[in-house]
Amino acid sequence: SADGVNATFEAGKEATGKVVIKVSSGKLSDEITIKIIEAKKDEDPEEPSKVNKDNLIQTINEANGLLSSTPVGIYQGEAPVHAHNALQNAVNEAVAVRDNDEADQDAVDQATATLNAAITNFDAEIVTKEDPIKVHPFPVEGNIEHFTTNDKRGTVEVNTNKEFIKTGTESINLAATGAPYPLRVRVSHPNWITDWTEYDHLAAWFYVENIESLHEDVTIVIGCPNDAPLLTLKRSDFVSGWNEIVVNLRDDLNFTDDQLQNMNDLFEFVIRFSGEPVPVYFDEIRLLQLEEKQDDIPVDKAVLESTILDAQALKDSTPQGTEPGQAPEEAHTALADAIAAAQVICDTVDATQTEVDEAVITLLAAIDTFNAAIVEEEPPGEDGVIFRETFNNVPDGTDIRKEPDMLDNPDSFVQASAGIVVTDGIIELKHRRMELSIPGLAQATNPVLKLVIKNDNGNGEPVDGLVLYIGNSYTTSGKVGESGHRAYGEYSVDSSDFITLTIPLNTEFTNTESIQFRPTLKGSSTNAEGFFIDEIIIVDL
C-alpha cells in the first residue's frame, strides 16, 4: 500500500482454497499480492535399519542338508520319521520368516534360534549304536488287521501322523477305552515265523506323551494269552515320549530253545494306565540277534599255528638216538604224526573252533610225550655220591672264606686266596684259588667230578679265554701231576649259561683227597672275573 502497511497470513501445511480480504477503511493500492509460504519442514526421520537374514538362510541350508543326507530309519546313521518330520516343520516355519518382507530382525533372530534348536534335536535322534546282527520285523504298514486287542478294552487303529511314526507311513494307535489293554501280534501276520532260535531279543518302540499316565508298577506286561506273564516292566524303566523295549528271549522271557523253535501262538504287550486311558502308539515290533553265535565268530587258528611251529622246532633241534639229549626214533615218528594231523586241521577252511582247540590240546600232549622221551643223563644215585656242595643254605652276601660253617660241607672247605661271596646259592670265584677236602676220595675206584658252572661277563656274554685249572692240591705252581694245580686238567669255559662239566678224576692223584679250583685267563693268573659255580658233585661210579 501507499502507507507501507503489510498484512501477513499463515496457512496450515495442508491449506487449500482461496483467501478473501475485506477492507473497510483506508486506501488500497491498485494491486494486492498474497503469498502462501510453506513452513519449513521438520527433519525427516532416519530410515529403519535393513533386516539381516544371512544367519537364517545359512541355518535353513544346514537343516536341508542334514535332512537330505540322513536316511530315514532306526539303525546306525539314520533318523526316524518323527525326527525328520519335526525338523522339516521347523525348516518350513523358518522359510516363511525368510520370505516375509515385513519380518523384523527380532522375528528373524527368533526363527534362527528355533531352527538351530530343531537341528540339535534332530542330531540327537540320529542313531549311533551298532546295528543288530540280524533283524526280523513284523511290519505295521498294510498289516494293521494282524494286530488286535480285546474288544472290551478298545480298538487297534492305524496312525498316519508322522509325529508318532518311527519308519514308513503307518504305526499302531492303541485306542484304549479300558485296561489292561493287550496289543497282540498274531500268527496270521504275513511276516510271522515259527522258528525264533536264531534270534535272542524281542524289541518294539512305543510313544506316550506323559509317562505318568501309565501304571507305576505294572506298566507293560509281555506275555502270551492264558499263560503266566513272561515279564513285567515298570514305569521307572521309561520316559515321556518315545521308548524302546528290548528284552532277551531266553534270559528275560525264559523261553527255551524248544519253545523258540515252535512259536505257533501270538504274543502280546499288555498296557495298564494310572487313570483314564491315553493314546499310546507302537511301531517297529521285531526280533533281533544282538549277540554273536559261536558259529558266527571267525575261527582263531593263531594258537594252533604257533604250537605247530614250536613242535616242529623241538623235533628239528632234538637229535634222533638213544644218547643223552636225544630222542628215540619212535618218539620222532609220533611227534611228526601229531604235527601232520594238526596241520590238516589248520589247513581245513571250515574247521570249527572246537576242532582247532582240540588239535592244540592233542599237539601239546604230543610235545609233552616227546619231551619225556628225550634221554636224560642218569643222575648219580645217592649211594654213588661222595660229595655235594650246593651253596643253597648260605645267606646272600656271605664270604665263605670267613664263614665256611654255612656250607653244606663246612669241614671240607680248606682255604681260598681271597674272599668268595655267595649270591642266590652261587659263588663267583673270579681269579681266586679255592681248595676243598673230599673225604673218601682216596678210596674211590671211579671218581667223577661234576661242576655246574658258567662264564658271564655281566652282560650275558662269556669272557674270552677263560679256562679252569683243576688240581689235586693248593699250589700256585704250574706243575702238572702230583701236587699240581692242573693235575686233573685244564678246561675252557665259554658258555654264559650254566652247563655241567663232567671230569673223570685220575686216581693216580686222588690220594691227597684235595681238589683245587683255579679259574684264569689263558696265559694269565689274574682278571678271571665272570666264573660262577652253582654246584660241585663228586660221585664214585
Over residues 382-402, the pLDDT tens digits come to 568 999 999 999 999 999 999
Predicted local confidence at residue 323, as pLDDT: 86
How far apart CA 195 and CA 261 sit, in angstroms, is 4
Identify the residue with better confidence: 530 or 237.
237
- Concatenate the DSSP letters of all residues of 448-485 into one string: EEEEEEEE--SSSSPPTTEEEEEESS--SS---STT-T
Q: Are residues 78 and 225 both part of a single domain?
A: no
Q: Are residues 247 and 288 both part of a single domain?
A: yes
User: What is the total count of domains within the chain?
Assistant: 4
Is residue 39 a part of any domain in this protein? no
- Cβ neighbours of residue 111 closer than 8 Å, sequence gap 6 or more: 56, 93, 94, 97, 98, 103
- Average pLDDT of span 223-234: 84
Predicted local confidence at residue 288, as pLDDT: 97
Predicted local confidence at residue 11, as pLDDT: 56
531 Rama sector, left if φ>0, alpha if ψ -120 to 50, beta otherwise:
beta
Q: Are residues 303 and 288 both part of a single domain?
A: no
pLDDT at 232 over 80: yes
Q: Are residues 407 and 469 both part of a single domain?
A: yes
How far apart CA 406 and CA 514 sit, in angstroms, is 20
Predicted local confidence at residue 38, as pLDDT: 52
pTM for the model stands at 0.51
How far apart CA 375 and CA 330 sit, in angstroms, is 13
How far apart CA 203 and CA 70 sit, in angstroms, is 23
CATH number of the domain bearing residue 91: 1.20.1270.90
- DSSP bridge partners of 434: 416, 517
Predicted local confidence at residue 45, as pLDDT: 57
In this prediction, residue 1 has a pLDDT band, given cuts at 50, 70 and 90, of very low
Is residue 64 a part of any domain in this protein? yes
Is residue 415 a part of any domain in this protein? yes
Of 48-52, 176-180, 352-356, 408-412, which range is least confident? 48-52
Written as nine digits, the cell of 523 is 696265559
Is residue 45 a part of any domain in this protein? no
How far apart CA 83 and CA 88 sit, in angstroms, is 9
Is residue 391 a part of any domain in this protein? yes
In this prediction, residue 525 has a pLDDT band, given cuts at 50, 70 and 90, of low
Q: Are residues 185 and 287 both part of a single domain?
A: yes
Predicted local confidence at residue 241, as pLDDT: 97
Q: Are residues 118 and 83 both part of a single domain?
A: yes
Residue 102 domain boundaries: 54-125
- Average pLDDT of span 284-291: 95
Rounded to the nearest integer, the mean pLDDT of the chain is: 89
Is residue 38 a part of any domain in this protein? no
Predicted local confidence at residue 485, as pLDDT: 80
Q: Are residues 436 and 480 both part of a single domain?
A: yes
Is residue 63 a part of any domain in this protein? yes
CATH number of the domain bearing residue 164: 2.60.120.430
Is residue 37 a part of any domain in this protein? no
pLDDT at 379 over 80: no
- Cβ neighbours of residue 172 closer than 8 Å, sequence gap 6 or more: 140, 144, 147, 156, 157, 158, 159, 183, 281, 282, 283
In this prediction, residue 291 has a pLDDT band, given cuts at 50, 70 and 90, of confident
pLDDT digits (tens, 9 = 90+) for 80-123: 999 999 999 999 999 999 999 999 999 999 999 999 999 999 99
Q: Are residues 156 and 283 both part of a single domain?
A: yes
Written as nine digits, the cell of 328 is 628215540
CATH number of the domain bearing residue 389: 2.60.120
Q: Are residues 302 and 288 both part of a single domain?
A: no
Q: Are residues 427 and 515 both part of a single domain?
A: yes
Predicted local confidence at residue 2, as pLDDT: 46
The CA-atom distances, in angstroms, between 443 and each of 252, 431, 516 are 84, 31, 18
Long-range contacts of 326-333 (CB under 8 A, 24+ apart): 326/374, 326/375, 327/370, 327/373, 327/374, 327/375, 328/373, 328/375, 330/373, 331/369, 331/370, 331/373, 331/374, 332/370
Q: Give the end of a domain, one of 373, 398, 426.
A: 373
In this prediction, residue 23 has a pLDDT band, given cuts at 50, 70 and 90, of low
pLDDT digits (tens, 9 = 90+) for 53-74: 999 999 999 999 999 999 999 9
In the block, cell 511290519 appears at: 139
Other CB atoms within 10 A of residue 124 CB: 10
- Average pLDDT of span 507-535: 83
How far apart CA 249 and CA 232 sit, in angstroms, is 14
Predicted local confidence at residue 429, as pLDDT: 87
Q: Are residues 112 and 138 both part of a single domain?
A: no
Q: Are residues 367 and 259 both part of a single domain?
A: no
In the block, cell 692240591 appears at: 473
Tell me how many degrees the CA angle 50-56-60 measures, rounded to the nearest 5: 150
The rounded percent of the chain whose pLDDT value lies above 70 is 87
